[in-house]
Amino acid sequence: MKVTKNRKPWMAFMSVVVWMVCVLVAVGCTSQVLDRPAIPQESPIVSKETPIVSKETPAVTSSATMQPVAESPAAESKTKPTAEPAASKTAAIPKQGRLVMLDPGHQRHGNNAPESVGPDTRETKPKVSSGTVGVRTKKPEYVLNLEVSQLIKDELVRRGIEVAMTRESHEVDISNKQRADMANEAGAALAVRIHADGDSSPKTKGFSVLYPSASSAAVKPISAESHEAASFILKHLKSATDTAGRGLSARSDLSGFNWSKVPVVLVELGFMTNPEEDELMSEAEYQKKLALGIADGIEQFLKSR
Ligand SMILES: [Zn+2]
């Protein structure tokens, strides 16, 4: 295009002014978008959820329950330490950072409100679901998860390991991100999420241990340690139950992993959609084996740190 040379000075001045206004508006809008975090870094509710963990006698036992909703304080008295002399067995476990956060998966009523899957993505998932159901026992997964978690807790406490739980009741409303935040806030050495599986085929069975995939940037710092913990737990689950299980699985799609800043694993105890395994998982003997295997794996992880 031909440049006009005989333009009047005031017109040139106005062009510059208009151009500058356009640039300022554009920069202003862009920085506004960039400055606004896509995903909130911390849930404001979480600061109130600091676990109450007794640290007076770490050599003996201690335990605590964290409940973001009003819960009976009686829960704590249920887990009074036994007289088991656990001190010698746990002497090798460093006192610092050895709290284990147990998270019995799901709750009575799911919460379908969307929640960000992780700090690196705008993808959302429901905050928490109510889980699967036993095909033969008709037991909801959230009930089984808490039954086994309580046994694991008792076993860890007996060994002198500090334990906190995200819930000890079904009447809670705690999202998967909030559960991760609870472990973060507590500075847990390890978070262990307890779940049971479901599948369209009734033949599928066996336990598995999930850990956060290193492919997700947010969990890279905890991926190696989580993998190590998962390996220990799988190994001890195999020997406790005398079955092979389905192995380890790296996952990048779980909100409860992606928001975690502490090593985290998820144990799928078995398939509630397999009639035999569904029944087995509700037998006291088998539950005890699962709990012992998981506790052994946790203890080995803590000792290895
Ligand atoms: Zn589940």
Q: What is the DSSP string of 80-95?
A: PPPS---TTTTTTS-S
Q: Let me know: does 212 contact 284? Beta carbons within 8 Å.
A: no
**Predicted confidence band of residue 26 (pLDDT cuts 50, 70, 90):** very low
85 alpha carbon – ligand 1 mean position (Å):
35
Q: What is the dihedral of CA 229, 233, 234, 237, to 10 degrees?
A: 180
Task: Name residue 122's amino acid.
Answer: R
164 alpha carbon – ligand 1 mean position (Å):
19
Q: What is the dihedral of CA 28, 30, 31, 34, to 10 degrees?
A: 160
Q: What is the pLDDT of residues 27-56, one digit of tens each?
A: 343 333 333 333 333 333 233 333 334 333
Find the range with the poorest average confidence among 93-107, 161-175, 185-199.
Answer: 93-107
pLDDT reading at 2 higher than 50: no
Give the separation between CA 81 and CA 295, rounded to whole angstroms.
Answer: 16
3-state secondary structure of 101: strand
Is the pLDDT higher at 88 or at 216? 216
pLDDT reading at 254 higher than 70: yes
Q: Let me know: does 250 contact 234? Beta carbons within 8 Å.
A: no
Give the separation between CA 63 and CA 73, rounded to whole angstroms.
Answer: 13
Tokens 């913990």 identify what position? 229
Which residues are within 8 A (CB) of 13 and not within 5 positions of it... i.e. 6 or more apart? none
The predicted structure's pLDDT at residue 85: 40
| Range among 18-22, 109-113, 282-286 rated most confident | 282-286
230 alpha carbon – ligand 1 mean position (Å):
17
Give the separation between CA 196 and CA 141, rounded to whole angstroms.
Answer: 6
269 alpha carbon – ligand 1 mean position (Å):
10
The predicted structure's pLDDT at residue 83: 38
Stretch 252-281: mean pLDDT: 97
Task: Name residue 258's amino acid.
Answer: N
Q: What are phi and psi of 27, to 5 degrees?
A: -65, -40
Q: What are phi and psi of 122, to 5 degrees?
A: -95, 0
282 alpha carbon – ligand 1 mean position (Å):
16
Which residues are within 8 A (CB) of 235 and not within 5 positions of it... i.e. 6 or more apart? 297
pLDDT reading at 109 higher than 50: yes
The predicted structure's pLDDT at residue 194: 98
The predicted structure's pLDDT at residue 285: 98
210 alpha carbon – ligand 1 mean position (Å):
12
CA distances from 41 to 37, 116, 218 (A): 8, 11, 12
Task: Name residue 171's amino acid.
Answer: E
205 alpha carbon – ligand 1 mean position (Å):
15
93 alpha carbon – ligand 1 mean position (Å):
30
Give the separation between CA 32 and CA 38, rounded to whole angstroms.
Answer: 12
71 alpha carbon – ligand 1 mean position (Å):
23
Give the separation between CA 162 and CA 189, rounded to whole angstroms.
Answer: 10
132 alpha carbon – ligand 1 mean position (Å):
7
The predicted structure's pLDDT at residue 98: 86
170 alpha carbon – ligand 1 mean position (Å):
14
Domain range annotation of the chain:
51-304
279 alpha carbon – ligand 1 mean position (Å):
17
Q: What percent of the chain has pLDDT over 90?
A: 64
61 alpha carbon – ligand 1 mean position (Å):
29
Strand partners, 133: 140
The predicted structure's pLDDT at residue 216: 85
Find the range with the poorest average confidence among 73-77, 129-133, 261-265.
Answer: 73-77
3-state secondary structure of 170: coil
The predicted structure's pLDDT at residue 20: 52
- CATH architecture type of domain 51-304: 3-Layer(aba) Sandwich (3.40)
Stretch 93-109: mean pLDDT: 83
Q: What is the pLDDT of residues 50-97, one digit of tens each?
A: 333 433 333 333 444 443 333 333 333 333 333 334 334 444 554 456
